[in-house]
Amino acid sequence: MGTISERKRKNGSSAYLAQIVIKRDGNIVHRENKTFDRKRIAEKWIEKREADLAKPDGLQQVPGKTLADAIDKCVKTSHKQIGRTKTQVLNTIKNEYDIASMHCADIDSQVLVAFVEELNTRVSPQTAQNYMSHLGAIFSIAKPAWGLQLDKQAHIDAMAVSKRLGLIGKGTSRERRPTLRELDLLIEHFKNKAKFRKQSIPMQDIIPFALFSTRRQEEICTILWDDLDKEGKRILVRDMKNPGEKIGNNVWCDLPDPCLYIIEAQPKKAPQIFPYNHRSISAAFTRACHFLEIKDLRFHDLRHEGTSRLFEMGYNIPQAAAVTGHRSWSSLKRFRQTGDKYDGWTGCH
């Protein structure tokens, strides 16, 4: 019979030591233990291991590979380049969560739901869904590719249960849109700053470019002069973010006229049109909003604003998607036509 003992860590959190000891004729023939953050997972592990050990020749069976082994196998053998976010998520699961040390065959839907519950104590349901989605890629290929006993259906069932319980879910859509007054304040602020700091990031150009092109900040900093099709009024956006895969997802996107004017004003001093760090752009934007007392406005809101503008100008979904780069049109269905509030705006000149 397995036992569980609770131990206190130095940081005040609890750890649960699950132990299994099997005796034959008064002698210990098998002993094993594992430490877990949650008592429920410890109980589940004992239940599963005792059932396995009770099988014929169960004591002679070599324990299977762990989820951490499956993660390492996926990362090492994948011919596709794994994106930074996915790599970070998988490493976090492997290094910080007890489920990574469990044998693949022991991980069923209940264990996965308990893992999602643990995630919810640290991250939002939206982030928990991202963790489970990245983990799902490993559950899909581990058994047919490498013979690792991860149950794909268990992951599918756990996702369904977690969604029903509200443990995972998409984030609420932001509806914050900048006013023309706010944009004028920001652009004037950065124009004045540029007079005294010639080497500063030209935010007075990047803000309207982000708005009219609907490009994300990371995309803005990676687009190349060589990928500009001036005659076709389009730009090749490399490794565009999408729910399926990012690496190698290169998409030609239409460029509205204001974007071409802004690009032509940039000096050709590097392969990139805007050779700046995308995090610096976000930080500069945030600092300016704080200084100007503009509340709850993020740089990424410019993409939503630009997309809204396309529909307000009369673009249909395929025309707007040609600019934004959306593969799925479902996310564009919420936008409506009301008229172009930027008609006559001088912010990009």
Q: Are 301 and 218 in contact (CB under 8 A)?
A: no
> In the block, which residue shows the tokens 């590097």?
270
- Give the separation between CA 188 and CA 182, rounded to whole angstroms: 10
Structure tokens at 165: 């319980």
What stretch of H or E contains 86?
Answer: helix 84-96
From first to last of its 349 residues, the chain has per-residue pLDDT tens of 689 999 888 778 888 888 888 888 877 777 788 888 889 998 998 998 888 888 887 766 545 688 998 998 888 876 566 677 788 899 899 888 889 888 888 899 999 999 999 999 888 898 999 999 999 999 999 888 888 889 999 999 999 999 999 999 876 667 889 999 999 999 999 999 998 887 889 999 999 999 999 999 999 999 999 999 999 999 999 888 765 555 557 899 999 999 999 999 999 989 999 999 999 999 999 999 999 999 999 999 999 999 989 988 888 888 999 999 887 656 665 565 566 777 777 776 6
With H, G, I as helix, E, B as strand and everything else as coil, classify residue 30. strand
pLDDT of 283 reads: 94
| CA 250 from centre of chain | 18
Question: What is the value of pTM for the model shown?
Answer: 0.59
Q: Are 217 and 299 in contact (CB under 8 A)?
A: yes
